[in-house]
Amino acid sequence: MPLTDYRTLGRSGLIVSPLSLGTMTFGTPGWGSSDEDSATIFNEYTNTGGNFIDTADVYAGGRSEELLGGYIGQRKLRNELVLATKFGFGGSPDNFGANTGRPNPHNGGNGRKHIYQALEGSLRRLGTDYIDLYWLHV
């Protein structure tokens, strides 16, 4: 199946390649992909026409989003890609009160406060001002 056999993602209006690049292993050299291997995978996927990238704020403690942001920025591909990320787990890199030692009910989940906090962190790590598809991870 050619990656350039694009189709519409539901009724979203987004035009995506038939296979998405999942990046859970990016930035996890112990069991996944080193930074260099991640770059090679990203470049091969995009060079062959892939345009649908999936990540999450908790993948490699935020490192997956950081790497993707760098790869996308270096090649100036942001307008060509459909970028999806996820939120919802406690323990995401930018949780409120993460280092206070006190319980925090906003430290994960799908409440408004956590959604905004997680979104701001993902935008910063990805180096973009918008995300095309934002998923509730849990």
User: Taking Cα atoms as reference points, which of 127, 59, 53 lies closest to residue 88?
Assistant: 59
Catalytic residues: 59
CB contact at 8 A, 52 and 84: yes
Cα–Cα distance for residue pair 4/115, rounded to 1 Å: 33
Q: Which residues pair with 54 in a beta bridge?
A: 22, 84
**DSSP secondary-structure letter at 80?**
G
Q: 85 near 57, Cβ under 8 Å?
A: yes
CA gap 51, 70 in Å, rounded: 16
